[in-house]
């Protein structure tokens, strides 16, 4: 892809230090996962080691990486995203042997989980090693860590040979990016480089589990299912998600857990239903809005598309209703697509709480401002 001239490299070192969130153009390097160019990885690794921020694909969503051992570098992530310093970052490792470099007092459950789920979409919250600046952890004593299962992410982590702090590569509160184009839509000109490894496979973020509490606690449902976690953590505590009304009153353990997140600009209603009742609820709401002269969009299963389109609704197809992996893979791209279509109202419904359904429901609920509508 385009190798943009980066004129910032001609600035004085001091200017560059002060101004590394201003990049006239973000360097885009093509890194197809099945034929990863070594020079692109080496270049991105050099940027990371020099303290710059680099966006890269993981199996879940694109991450915005910086050297996790450098407070100056990590600060640039927050600046590029306009993310408040109170929201902790996940540290990405090339493999489990690096765990002791970034955490301490590692419980045996963590090693069991790592053995079963790494590389993969599981983030463990563990006591923070003093080598990692407090800024990464929003000032706290714990740190989220994971080994991502994406060949480009792993190649970059190995080449850089440092732990890499990386939140999702979107502006704060926006929908997470599942393509390099999504990253550029939010961050072009604000980051040094993005590695384009094509669309991500899982589509929703990693599962976050806190292993510093007894019992361990699910902080965010994600790519590793709660059912799979329970095999190793039978006593894991997973708060029951609210369906209707105000978001749960329980104080968020991490500010990243805030209810309004992943949010489209267009008004979104999400029904807490599946199958026929869900389709009927979407149709009723759509017809009322269309009668008011509004333009309506829907995130829908393939089987629902024709009915909704017949009623005059613009549909973003998520995949077959029983293929939750396909639905989570498509979810954010579909949200972005409809959100940029200048519609007045978006409709969606949940897909149950089994397997990936729990994460899909969680993201839809946050995108809708904190609650689902009961049917
Ligand atoms: O799949 C993912 O996890 C992606 C890719 C890039 O790895 N990353 C990601 O990062 O989703 P981010 O920053 O958008 O979300 C991470 C969330 C934080 O918002 C916070 O809720 C939780 O993980 N988290 C991180 N460190 C934590 C800590 N020390 N204690 C509690 N929660 C933490
Ligand atoms: Mg995020």
| Res 166 pLDDT > 80 | yes
Which of 28-32, 180-184, 256-260, 261-265 has the lowest average pLDDT? 256-260
State the pLDDT at residue 247. 46
Task: Say which CATH architecture domain 268-367 belongs to.
Answer: 3-Layer(aba) Sandwich (3.40)
Q: Which atom of ligand 1 is nearest to the CA of 128?
A: 29
- pLDDT digit string (tens) for 139-155? 999 999 999 999 999 99
CA of 89 to the centre of ligand 1 (A): 5
pLDDT of residue 257: 55
**Mean pLDDT, residues 118-132 taken together:** 98
What is the sign of the dihedral through the CA atoms of 77, 80, 86 and 92?
A: negative
- Name which residue sits closest to atom 21 of ligand 1, judged by CA: 256
Residue 334 · residue 205 · CB < 8 Å: no
> What lines the ligand 1 site, CB under 6 Å?
58, 60-61, 63, 87-90, 121, 123, 125, 137, 140, 142-144, 148, 166-168, 205-206, 208, 219-220, 253-254, 256-257
Taking the CA of residue 170 as reference, the ligand 1 atom at the shortest distance is: 14
Tell me, in angstroms, the distance from the centre of ligand 2 to residue 290's CA: 33
Residue with CA closest to ligand 1 atom 3 = 206
What pLDDT is stored for residue 361 in this prediction?
97
- Smallest-distance ligand from the CA of 257: 1
Task: Give dist(CA 210, CA 191) in Å, integer.
Answer: 30
Question: 282-327 pLDDT, tens per residue?
Answer: 999 999 999 999 999 999 999 999 999 999 999 999 999 999 999 9
User: What is the Cα–Cα distance from 38 to 121, expressed in whole angstroms?
Assistant: 25
Pairing of the two strands 345-349 and 62-67: unpaired
pLDDT over 70 (residue 258): no
CA of 141 to the centre of ligand 1 (A): 15
Average pLDDT over the chain reads: 91
| CA of 77 relative to ligand 2 center, distance in Å | 12
Q: How confident is the model at residue 263 (pLDDT cuts 50, 70, 90)?
A: confident
**What separation in Å is there between the alpha carbon of 68 and the centre of ligand 2?**
17
Residue 238 has what pLDDT? 97
Rounded CA gap, 185 and 180, in Å? 9
pLDDT exceeds cutoff 60 at 259: no
Confidence of residue 11 (pLDDT cuts 50, 70, 90): very low
Position 241 confidence tier, pLDDT thresholds 50, 70, 90: confident
Are the C-beta atoms of 168 and 183 separated by less than 8 Å? no
- The answer to whether residue 245 scores a pLDDT higher than 70 is no
- Mean pLDDT on 91-99: 97
Domain ranges of the chain: 2-243, 268-367
- Are 163 and 93 a contacting pair, CB within 8 Å? yes
Ligand 1: which of 104, 121, 127, 144 to mutate, judged by most atoms within 8 Å of the beta carbon? 144
pLDDT at 180 over 80: yes
Confidence label for 262 from pLDDT (cuts 50, 70 and 90): confident
CA 310 to centroid of ligand 2, rounded, Å: 35
Exposed/middle/buried for residue 139 (C-beta within 10 Å: 0-12, 13-18, 19+) = exposed
Among protein residues, the one with the nearest Cα to ligand 1's atom 12 is 167
Q: Is the pLDDT of residue 250 over 50?
A: no
**In the prediction, which pLDDT does 29 show?**
98
Looking at the domain that runs over 2-243, which CATH code has it been given? 3.90.870.10
Give percent of the chain with pLDDT exceeding 90.
86
> Per-residue confidence at 12, pLDDT binned at 50, 70, 90?
very low
* pLDDT bucket at 17, cuts 50 / 70 / 90: very low
Average pLDDT over residues 263-278: 96
* pLDDT value, residue 3: 40
């Amino acid at each position: 892809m385009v190798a943009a001239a980066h004129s910032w490299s001609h600035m004085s070192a001091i200017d560059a230090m002060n101004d590394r969130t201003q990049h006239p153009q973000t360097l885009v390097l093509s890194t197809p996962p099945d034929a990863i160019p070594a020079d692109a990885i080496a270049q991105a690794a050099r940027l990371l080691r020099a303290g710059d921020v680099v966006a890269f694909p993981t199996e879940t969503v694109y991450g915005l990486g910086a050297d996790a051992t450098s407070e100056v570098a990590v600060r640039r992530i927050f600046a590029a995203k306009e993310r408040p310093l109170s929201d902790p970052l996940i540290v990405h490792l090339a493999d489990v042997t690096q765990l002791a470099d970034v955490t301490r007092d590692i419980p045996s459950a963590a090693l069991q989980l790592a053995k079963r789920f790494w590389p993969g979409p599981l983030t463990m919250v563990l006591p923070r090693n003093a080598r990692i600046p407090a800024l990464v952890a929003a000032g706290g004593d714990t740190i989220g860590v994971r080994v991502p299962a994406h060949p480009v992410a792993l190649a970059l982590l190995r080449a850089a040979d440092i732990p890499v702090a990386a939140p999702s590569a979107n502006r704060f509160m926006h929908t997470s990016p599942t393509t390099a184009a999504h990253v550029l839509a939010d961050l072009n000109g604000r980051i040094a480089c993005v590695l384009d490894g094509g669309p991500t496979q899982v589509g929703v973020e990693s599962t976050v589990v806190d292993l510093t509490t007894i019992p361990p606690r699910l902080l965010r449902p994600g790519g590793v299912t709660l059912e799979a976690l329970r095999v190793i953590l039978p006593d894991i505590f997973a708060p029951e998600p609210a369906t209707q009304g105000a978001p749960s009153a329980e104080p968020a353990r991490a500010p990243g857990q805030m209810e309004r997140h992943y949010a489209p600009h267009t008004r979104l209603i999400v029904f807490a239903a599946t199958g026929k009742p869900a389709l009927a609820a979407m149709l009723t709401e759509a017809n009322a809005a269309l009668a008011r002269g509004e333009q309506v969009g829907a995130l829908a299963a393939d089987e629902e598309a024709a009915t909704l389109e017949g009623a005059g609704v613009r549909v973003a197809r998520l995949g077959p209703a029983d293929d939750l992996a396909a639905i989570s893979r498509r979810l954010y791209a579909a949200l972005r697509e409809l959100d940029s279509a200048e519609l007045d109202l978006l409709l969606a419904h949940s897909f149950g709480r089994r397997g990936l359904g729990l994460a899909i429901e969680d993201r839809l609920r946050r995108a809708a401002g904190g609650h689902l509508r009961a049917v």
